[in-house]
Structure formats: structure tokens, C-alpha cells
């Protein structure tokens, strides 16, 4: 009897344990099944949203690259853009097919549910429009680079806005549906968790007290770990703040994490995407940065490619910063580390170093040819007066500015030449002149001259320059008893300057430009011992820089091209001057020659005559005519040669051009013989 009584409490306790465990198991299984069903439904919606969103984004990318392709200026740029565009179009096509016909690898059933089904096969017929857009764009993109039709691309790109509107409608519809499912999931989870907690609490009060004690111990351990983690986070923040760089943890959607260094804390507002903090006043850069984050989140393009396309430079509070991104992966957690580095001192150092090297080159130029430098400054004053005049004709302004740039680069003022090039680019592409920038050129030039004032101060140069051969000729004349008149004629010529001095400056220009272009050239100078008055063709000589720059940029080929055509890798340029009945100057090269067919086409486009050689030579010197398809810092605008002819004609001279394909070119300038530069001979009247 006692044994039955003793076993009853044990049996009842066992039943209670089993019942409690069964209830917990049933509740857990039920919750798991319900949650699995809800999560599976959410997963299906998320997949379709993801694919639809990718369709939208791919449409944007194809439109962007196609637009860039339509405006690309170089063959290399068109080839690179077309390669990327073909890949994007294939991704676009595959994604569209998977969405409609199914893709088991990503879990697409192949039968889109409403409302995506209505958008794809209803009145909007989105599916066929996407296919047609991809097919047409692919056909144009696969054309060879020289035949890419910009007009076709622009026509096809007109389909993109409609596609984007409908793709956005599909994405928004699914986002609304997914939000409703997520809300239901949250409510169901809350109810299940509450019910399970109540059940566990009631059972714990009866039979799970040891478990409660164990939970308390775990909570204490968790608290200790949390305290340690907080201490480690404080240490990490100290490390971040001590680096001097701005470090910010960013989610893939552009939202900020809690990790950031103190340096840039005030840049970013809570709840705002990172690009608004980086570029608060530049909407274009904000959009570029947002596209970069969107591409990284999608993950269909290489990370390095996307980062290269984002803006990297920030100017804020008179300081310059460099922006970089690094991917961070911690298990399934993916985020980005934004690095903001202050490069103000580095850029200032680089600028100072550049200015120092530039000053050294200018001083070397002055030491080699001070008279030429003084003449260069006088010509710059004349040209800058033209540039600063408000009502000067546009063609004359372009020629003057182009000559200012060329001469400044030749004499070592590279920074000033770069400023001129930037203004020249805006002036060539805009309807109105950037007058404020043009007016700042003269003060900028005066500031540059102030740095070298000590090297160009006025000194007496009242002396004669006599070549050794000329002195020997005079001695020989005395020995053979030349008449006094003949000897005086020889001495009178010494009052003029050797033409070689002018030709040597041209040779130095050729050497300088060849070095800048990475070309090798040998210059031969022959002045036939001619002497000319110092002020003879004073305004013409500086304009010759355009002939020199065109000769080196258009004429002399790179070493590898010369080797391939059977020429020596070193180009050859001859500069000769001869004084007879006329003064003749000849600049000849052995380069590729002038492309007369291209000159003819350009002339016909401008409505100029192009039926004979004289017409083509005339067109070569016309404003806006150039054989280059792309403007460079050396040549390509078609205004420099017009300045050369203008100055030659003002001096009463003529210009002729001799050229044949593959055999080089020769520019021949002919002027009336100059009068003597002095009025008194060395021995009286």
C-alpha cells in the first residue's frame, strides 16, 4: 500500500514533465512551421523584387554606357565602352528571360504573380519592350567602332525612360506586397513568442527552476561580455580618432553605422545617406556616389570598377580630401569602410615642387637666351592686350590665346599654359567668352613675372655678337688688302644679329616639345651666315611656335610608328634661313606628311574651296581647320596656323607648303629683304 502511495507523486511529476515538454514541442513545431511558411512567402517576393530592381538598374546602366558611347571621342574609349555595354546588355537579357520563363538557380518559378504579370503581359507589354530595347541596343553596340551610329544610339535610348517608369511600378507594387507580408510576419512572431514565453514561465515556476538559475548565470556572463565589448569599442574609437583620417562604417544602402572617427563626425547627419554628407552642395556627385553604392549592393559588376567611377576628391573649408572605399565582410555581414584622407599638405607640397621645377626651367631659359626671353615678354604683353580687350573678334581672340599658351609652354611657364588651355577649351565650346577668366590672365602673368624679376632686370646689352667665322673673314680681308668700302660693308653687317640666333630658338622649341611628346628628333640648323636686323619680323617669330608644335604633334611619328614604316626611329627636322634678294625661312621634317584628303573634307564641311593645291594650302591656314580629330594641349584647335599666316602677311611675306604622304612636310616663308638696322657706319659718314 505504501509503495503505491510513494510512486504516485513520481508518476504524476513525470506526467507533468512529459506534458510540459510535449506542449513546448508542439508549440515550437507549430511556430516553426508557421514561420517557415511566412519566410518562404517573403523569400519569393524578395526574389522577384530583387530581379525587377536589377532590371531597372541594368536599364539605367545600359542607358548610361550607351549615352557615353554616343559621345565618345576616341577609338580607345569607344572600344572600352562597347565591351562593357555588350556585357551589360547580356545581363539585361538573361535577367528578363529568367523573370518570365523561370530560373531554378535563383528560385524563380517562371510564372510571375500579379501585379508583375499584368505589367509584363498586359497593356504595357513590358516583356517584349525590354527584349526589343536589348536587341536594338545590342545590334548597334556590336557594330565596329568606326561605324558606331550615335543617332541610332540616341534613338534607342529614347525607349529607356518608359521602361524605367514601368519597372519602377513593378518594384513599388512588390515592395507594398512584401511590406504587408513582413508586417503579418512580425505580428505572428510576436504572438508566438508571447505565447511561448508565457508557457515557459508557467512551467519554469513548477519544474524548470534549475533552468532559471542557469539562465541567470548566463545573463550575468552576457553582461560581463557586454561590458568588455563596450570597453573594446571605446578603445577602437580611440584608435580611429588617433589615425588622423576620417573613417566611417557604411551599410551597402548608404546608411551610416555607429563606427566613425571623430575627425568627420560633424559631416554626417543621422538618417541621411553618406553621399549627402560628403557632397552637400553637389547634386551630380551625390547621384554618382549613390549609383556606386547601388552597384556594389547588386554585386554584378567588379568592386574596383565601381569604385573607380565614383568621385574621389572633396574640397571643404579650404582643405582638400581624398575619398576611398574598402569592402568589409564578417560572416554574412557585408559593409563598407569609407576612408577620408586630408591631402591638403600633400597637394600643397606637390604644387610647390612643381612651381620650383618650373622656376628652374624658366631661369635656365633666361640664362641661355636672355634677349629672346625679353622679346618673348614683349610679345606676351601684346597678345594679352588682345585677350583682355572686350570687343575683339572671336577668331582673333582664339588665335591670340592659342599663341599665348604655346609660347608660355615653350619658355617654361607650364602652369600659366595650363590655365590658358582650360580657358581655351571653354571658349571653344561656349557661345559666350569667359570674360572674367580672360581678364584674370594678365594679373596672373604679372604675378608669374614677379617671381623672376631679379633675373630679367634691365642691364646694358650694347655689344656686338660676332661669329668666329665672321671674324676670320674680316682678318682675311685685311690681309688681302680689301678696299675700305668692302671692309666697312663687312663691319656694318655686324650691327645686325646672326639669323642663327633666331633659328637656334626654334631648335630649342623643337627639342622641348619632342621631350614632352616622348618623341626622338634630330634638329639641323643652317643660317647660311645670314644677318638680319634685330627687330626684323619681330611679331612673326613668336607665331612660329604653332608651326613647330604642329610639326612635332602631326608630322614626326612616334619611334614605334617610324620603325614600322621603315624609317629611323629618330625624326629629322631641318631649319634653314637664307638672305638673298628675299629672306627665306624653311622648316622641313621627314614625318608622315599632311593628310590632304582630310584637309579637303574639312574644307568642304566649312564651305571652303578645295579643288586644287592652292585651295588646300589656303584651307590649311584657315581658322578652325585641323587634321586632328581630338583637341590636345599641343595642337588640334585649328587656330594656330591661321595666326602664323596672319603675322607673315602683316610683315609682307608669303607662305607655301610642300608635303607628300609618308615623306614629310616643308613650310616655306618668304619676306622682302630687310633694310640695314643702322644709319651710321662704324667710321663716320
What is the reported pLDDT for 634? Answer: 45
What is the reported pLDDT for 524? Answer: 95
pLDDT for residue 459 is more than 50: no
Separation CA 175–CA 178 (nearest Å): 5
Q: How is residue 557 annotated by DSSP? A: P
pLDDT band at 175 (very low <50, low <70, confident <90, very high): low
pLDDT for 407-425, tens place per residue?
888 788 888 888 888 888 7
Q: How is residue 482 annotated by DSSP? A: -
C-alpha cell at 124: 504595357
Residue ranges in 72-114 assigned as alpha helix (H): 75-101
**Cell 611675306 identifies what position?**
653
Separation CA 333–CA 259 (nearest Å): 15
What is the reported pLDDT for 521? Answer: 93
- Ranked by mean pLDDT, the top range of 25-29, 108-112, 267-271, 653-657 is 653-657
- Lowest-confidence pick of 95-104, 294-303, 365-374, 612-621: 95-104
Separation CA 156–CA 285 (nearest Å): 26
Q: How is residue 554 annotated by DSSP? A: I
* Domain annotation for the chain: domains and CATH numbers: 2-207 (1.20.1420), 243-342 (3.30.450.20), 355-458 (1.20.120), 487-672 (3.30.565.10)
pLDDT for residue 148 is more than 60: no
What is the reported pLDDT for 523? Answer: 94
C-alpha cell at 140: 548597334
Residue ranges in 322-369 assigned as alpha helix (H): 344-368
Query: Residues near 648 by Cβ (< 8 Å), separated by ≥ 6?
Result: 540, 543, 654, 655, 669, 671
pLDDT for 307-339, tens place per residue?
888 888 888 878 888 888 889 887 788 888 888
Long-range contacts of 71-78 (CB under 8 A, 24+ apart): 71/150, 73/629, 73/630, 74/630, 75/145, 75/146, 78/145, 78/148
What is the reported pLDDT for 185? Answer: 63
pLDDT for 16-39, tens place per residue?
566 666 766 776 677 667 666 666
Separation CA 196–CA 30 (nearest Å): 11
Separation CA 654–CA 670 (nearest Å): 5
Residue by residue, DSSP assigns 184-199 as HHHHHHHHHHHHHHHH
Separation CA 40–CA 50 (nearest Å): 15
Q: How is residue 145 annotated by DSSP? A: G
Q: How is residue 625 annotated by DSSP? A: -
Separation CA 661–CA 664 (nearest Å): 7
What is the reported pLDDT for 142? Answer: 67
- Ranked by mean pLDDT, the top range of 35-44, 95-104, 263-272, 505-514 is 505-514
Q: What percent of the chain has pLDDT above 90?
A: 8
- Across the range 251-259, mean pLDDT stands at 84
pLDDT for 355-408, tens place per residue?
788 888 788 777 777 777 877 888 888 888 888 887 888 878 887 888 888 888
Residue ranges in 122-159 assigned as alpha helix (H): 126-141, 150-157
Separation CA 511–CA 508 (nearest Å): 5
Separation CA 684–CA 337 (nearest Å): 86
CA nearest neighbour of 298 among 253, 250, 248, 249: 253
pLDDT for 184-194, tens place per residue?
766 776 776 67
* C-alpha torsion sign, points 327, 329, 334, 337: negative
Separation CA 397–CA 424 (nearest Å): 10
596-605 vs 613-620: helix axis angle to the nearest 10?
A: 70
pLDDT band at 568 (very low <50, low <70, confident <90, very high): very high
pLDDT averaged over the chain? 76
Separation CA 15–CA 19 (nearest Å): 6
For the chain, the helix, strand and coil percentages under 3-state DSSP, each to the nearest 5: 65, 10, 25
Residue ranges in 369-498 assigned as alpha helix (H): 370-388, 394-410, 414-429, 435-450, 468-479, 484-493
| Secondary structure class of 608 (helix, strand, coil) | coil
Q: How is residue 122 annotated by DSSP? A: S
Amino acid at each position: 500500500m505504501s509503495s503505491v502511495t510513494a510512486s504516485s507523486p513520481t508518476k504524476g511529476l513525470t506526467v507533468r514533465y512529459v506534458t510540459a515538454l510535449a506542449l513546448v514541442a508542439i508549440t515550437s513545431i507549430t511556430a516553426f512551421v508557421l514561420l517557415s511558411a511566412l519566410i518562404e512567402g517573403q523569400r519569393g517576393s524578395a526574389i522577384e523584387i530583387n530581379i525587377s530592381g536589377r532590371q531597372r538598374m541594368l536599364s539605367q546602366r545600359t542607358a548610361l554606357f550607351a549615352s557615353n558611347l554616343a559621345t565618345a571621342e576616341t577609338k580607345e574609349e569607344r572600344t572600352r565602352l562597347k565591351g562593357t555595354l555588350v556585357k551589360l546588355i547580356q545581363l539585361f537579357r538573361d535577367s528578363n528571360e529568367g523573370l518570365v520563363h523561370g530560373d531554378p538557380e535563383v528560385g524563380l518559378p517562371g510564372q510571375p504573380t500579379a501585379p508583375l504579370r499584368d505589367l509584363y503581359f498586359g497593356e504595357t507589354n513590358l516583356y517584349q519592350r525590354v527584349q526589343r530595347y536589348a536587341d536594338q541596343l545590342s545590334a548597334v553596340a556590336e557594330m565596329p567602332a568606326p561605324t558606331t551610329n550615335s543617332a541610332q544610339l540616341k534613338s534607342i535610348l529614347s525607349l529607356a525612360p518608359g521602361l524605367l517608369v514601368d519597372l519602377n511600378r513593378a518594384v513599388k507594387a512588390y515592395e507594398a506586397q512584401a511590406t504587408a507580408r513582413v508586417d503579418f510576419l512580425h505580428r505572428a512572431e510576436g504572438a508566438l513568442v508571447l505565447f511561448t514565453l508565457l508557457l515557459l514561465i508557467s512551467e519554469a515556476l513548477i519544474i524548470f527552476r534549475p533552468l532559471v538559475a542557469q539562465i541567470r548565470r548566463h545573463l550575468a556572463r552576457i553582461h560581463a561580455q557586454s561590458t568588455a565589448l563596450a570597453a573594446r569599442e571605446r578603445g577602437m574609437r580611440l584608435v580611429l580618432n588617433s589615425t588622423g583620417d576620417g573613417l566611417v562604417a557604411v551599410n551597402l544602402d548608404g546608411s551610416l553605422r555607429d563606427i566613425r572617427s571623430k575627425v568627420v563626425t560633424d559631416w554626417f547627419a543621422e538618417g541621411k545617406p553618406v553621399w549627402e554628407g560628403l557632397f552637400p552642395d553637389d547634386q551630380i556627385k551625390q547621384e554618382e556616389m549613390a549609383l556606386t553604392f547601388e552597384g556594389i549592393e547588386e554585386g554584378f559588376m567588379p568592386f574596383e570598377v565601381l569604385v573607380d567611377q565614383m568621385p574621389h576628391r572633396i574640397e571643404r573649408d579650404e582643405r582638400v580630401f581624398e575619398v576611398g572605399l574598402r569592402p568589409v565582410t564578417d560572416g554574412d555581414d557585408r559593409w563598407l569602410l569609407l576612408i577620408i584622407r586630408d591631402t591638403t599638405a600633400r597637394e600643397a607640397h606637390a604644387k610647390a615642387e612643381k612651381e620650383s621645377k618650373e622656376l628652374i626651367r624658366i631661369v635656365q631659359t633666361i640664362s641661355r637666351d636672355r634677349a629672346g626671353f625679353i622679346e618673348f615678354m614683349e610679345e606676351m604683353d601684346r597678345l594679352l592686350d588682345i585677350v583682355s580687350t572686350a570687343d575683339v573678334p572671336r577668331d582673333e581672340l582664339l588665335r591670340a590665346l592659342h599663341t599665348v599658351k604655346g609660347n608660355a609652354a615653350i619658355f617654361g611657364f607650364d602652369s600659366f599654359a595650363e590655365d590658358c588651355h582650360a580657358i581655351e577649351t571653354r571658349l571653344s565650346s561656349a557661345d559666350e567668352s569667359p570674360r572674367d577668366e580672360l581678364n584674370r590672365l594678365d594679373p596672373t602673368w604679372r604675378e608669374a613675372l614677379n617671381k623672376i624679376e631679379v633675373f630679367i632686370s634691365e642691364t646694358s646689352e650694347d655689344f656686338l655678337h660676332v661669329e668666329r667665322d665672321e671674324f676670320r673673314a674680316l682678318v682675311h680681308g685685311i690681309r688681302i688688302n680689301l678696299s675700305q668700302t668692302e671692309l666697312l660693308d663687312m663691319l656694318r653687317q655686324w650691327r645686325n644679329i646672326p639669323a642663327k640666333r633666331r633659328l637656334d630658338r626654334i631648335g630649342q622649341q623643337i627639342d622641348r616639345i619632342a621631350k614632352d611628346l616622348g618623341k626622338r628628333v634630330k634638329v639641323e640648323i643652317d643660317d647660311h651666315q645670314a644677318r638680319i636686323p634685330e627687330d626684323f619680323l619681330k611679331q612673326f617669330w613668336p607665331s612660329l611656335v604653332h608651326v613647330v608644335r604642329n610639326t612635332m604633334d602631326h608630322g614626326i611619328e612616334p619611334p614605334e610608328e617610324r620603325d614600322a614604316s621603315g624609317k629611323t626611329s629618330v625624326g629629322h627636322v631641318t631649319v634653314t634661313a637664307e638672305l638673298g634678294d628675299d629672306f627665306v625661312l624653311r622648316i622641313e621634317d621627314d614625318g608622315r606628311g599632311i593628310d590632304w584628303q582630310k584637309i579637303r573634307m574639312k574644307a568642304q564641311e566649312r564651305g571652303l574651296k578645295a579643288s586644287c593645291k592652292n585651295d588646300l594650302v589656303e584651307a590649311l591656314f584657315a581658322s578652325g581647320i585641323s587634321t586632328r580629330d581630338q583637341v590636345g594641349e599641343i595642337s588640334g584647335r585649328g587656330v594656330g596656323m591661321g595666326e602664323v599666316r596672319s603675322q607673315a602677311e602683316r610683315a609682307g611675306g608669303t607662305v607655301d607648303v610642300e608635303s607628300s604622304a609618308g615623306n614629310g612636310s616643308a613650310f616655306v616663308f618668304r619676306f622682302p629683304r630687310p633694310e640695314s638696322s643702322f644709319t651710321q657706319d662704324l667710321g663716320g659718314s
